Amino acid sequence: MSVLVNKNSKIIVQGFTGSEGSFHAEQMIEYGSNLVGGVTPGKGGQEHLGKPVFNTVEDAVKMAGADVSVIFVPPAFAADAIMEAADAGIKVIICITEGIPTKDMVIVQEYLSDKDCRLVGPNCPGVITPGEAKVGIMPGFIHNPGRIGIVSRSGTLTYEAVDQVTKLGMGQSTAIGIGGDPIIGTTTKDAVQLLMEDPDTDGIIMIGEIGGSMESDAAYWVKANGTKPVVGFIAGQTAPKGRKMGHAGAIIGGKDDTAEAKMQVMRECGIHVVESPAEIGQKMKEVMGLV
């Protein structure tokens, strides 16, 4: 089963014919994702990578039955692309684009509030259900179909966790990169909840960062509703206060924002917290009783 995307997902790429969109669309097709086409306004009717190009997301939904969209549109136009996908009835919108102005995302969040869809990202690596669908920019080959769900705010750190899980003989049900921006569509808690309710996920890895309260919110939810073991890590234990660490969302504001404070809350909520990112996979193996 897995969550968000699977082998039956009908995926389109917004920003299909651009360099980023083309490169990653090709990788997704190669992985075996069910890509049914893409959208580039003004290029409708053409064919690209052997798939149809549509002018609008609405056309892609009507003509190709698209229900998942992955967005590679440049930052100035990405907010519009997300809202177009929502308006067209796309159920899962995954926005890879980095650098969208916060003001645009405030509008997006409001616009999506009464739409029946889920946004993942922006500024994220995407979502993968190994062996079924890769919808994003992650390297496919490090993944292995399995029963561990992974949620993370960062790209390469997600790959790190995935790789450890795979190398220790386990695999992933779905790995979700939720993104590093201040406003994102799917929070840590949302993603953890999806995996907790997924019958094909047995354990969850939750990777956070300094800044905001998403990990604490997720931890409290796990304490109240958790039925599966959760392993957690927070990056930024050594980050100085008030400095932005690459991600716009990664900045320590108050004392509850620190890695230390978040890890403490997570421990209190029954999450198996590791201090070192090198121990994420091993800890998961332990709590699953596989050693």
Partner 1 sequence: MNVHEYQGKGILKQYGVPIQEGQVIDQLSQAQNAADQLARDTGTEWFVVKAQIHAGGRGKGTVKETGSHGVVLAKGKHQLDDVVEGILGGTLVTAQTGEKGKRVNKVLIAEDVYYPGASEPEEYYMSVLLNRASGRNMIMYSPEGGMNIEEVAEKTPHLIFTEEVDPAAGLLPFQARRIAFNLGLSGLGMKNMVKFVSALYKAYEGSDSAMFEINPVLKASDDKVLAVDCKMTLDDNALYRQKELSAMRDISEEDPTEVEAGKHNLSYVKLDGNVGCMVNGAGLAMATMDIIKQAGGEPANFLDVGGTASAERVEKAFRIILSDPNVKAILVNIFGGIVRCDRVANGIVQAYKNIGDIGVPIIVRLQGTNAEEAKKIIDDSGLEVLSAIALKEAADRVTEVLA
**Distance from C-alpha of 87 to C-alpha of 21, rounded to nearest angstrom:** 21
Reply yes or no on whether 143 is catalytic.
Answer: no
Smallest CA-to-CA distance from 167 within 260, 281, 264 is with 281
Burial class (CB in 10 A: 0-12, 13-18, 19+), 287: middle
Tell me if 243 contacts partner 1 by CB under 8 A: yes
**Residue closer to partner 1 (CB basis): 52 or 249:** 249
Tell me if 95 contacts partner 1 by CB under 8 A: no
* β-strands 126-129, 133-136 pairing: antiparallel
Q: Minimum Å distance from CB 154 to partner 1? A: 2
Give the helix ranges, DSSP H, for the chain. 19-31, 57-64, 75-87, 102-112, 155-167, 188-196, 214-225, 259-268, 280-287
Tell me if 137 contacts partner 1 by CB under 8 A: yes
**Residue closer to partner 1 (CB basis): 227 or 238:** 238
Report how many residues bind partner 1 under the rule CB under 8 A: 60
Tell me if 179 contacts partner 1 by CB under 8 A: no
Q: Residues 217-236 vs partner 1: string with x where CB under 8 A?
A: ----------------x-xx
Q: Minimum Å distance from CB 238 to partner 1? A: 4
**Distance from C-alpha of 76 to C-alpha of 57, rounded to nearest angstrom:** 18
**Distance from C-alpha of 194 to C-alpha of 247, rounded to nearest angstrom:** 24
- Taking CB under 8 A as the criterion, the residue among 99, 169, 225, 268 binding partner 1 is 99
**Residue closer to partner 1 (CB basis): 30 or 47:** 30
| Stretch near partner 1 under the rule CB under 8 A, chosen from 53-61, 138-146, 188-196, 197-205 | 138-146
Residue indicated by tokens 């509850």:
256
Tell me if 213 contacts partner 1 by CB under 8 A: yes
Mapped onto helix, strand or coil, the DSSP state of residue 99 is: coil
Tell me if 31 contacts partner 1 by CB under 8 A: no
**What is the DSSP secondary-structure string of 173-233?**
EEEEE--SSSS-SS-HHHHHHHHHT-TT--EEEEEEESSSSHHHHHHHHHHHH--S-EEEE
- Looking at 24, 48, 143, 247, which residue is catalytic? 247
Tell me if 30 contacts partner 1 by CB under 8 A: no
Residue indicated by tokens 């958790």:
226
> What tokens appear for 6 in the block?
């699977």
Contacts of 142 (CB under 8 A, 6+ apart): 159, 162, 163, 166
| Stretch near partner 1 under the rule CB under 8 A, chosen from 33-41, 60-68, 197-205, 208-216 | 208-216
Q: Minimum Å distance from CB 259 to partner 1? A: 8
> What tokens appear for 120 in the block?
């993942």
**Distance from C-alpha of 55 to C-alpha of 76, rounded to nearest angstrom:** 19
Tell me if 18 contacts partner 1 by CB under 8 A: no
- Taking CB under 8 A as the criterion, the residue among 194, 210, 230, 265 binding partner 1 is 210
- Taking CB under 8 A as the criterion, the residue among 53, 138, 151, 194 binding partner 1 is 138
Q: Which residues of this protein are in contact with partner 1, per CB under 8 A?
A: 23, 27, 75-76, 99-103, 105-107, 109-110, 137-139, 141-142, 152-160, 163-164, 180, 182-183, 207, 209-210, 212-213, 233, 235-240, 243-250, 254, 259, 275-279
Active site residues: 247
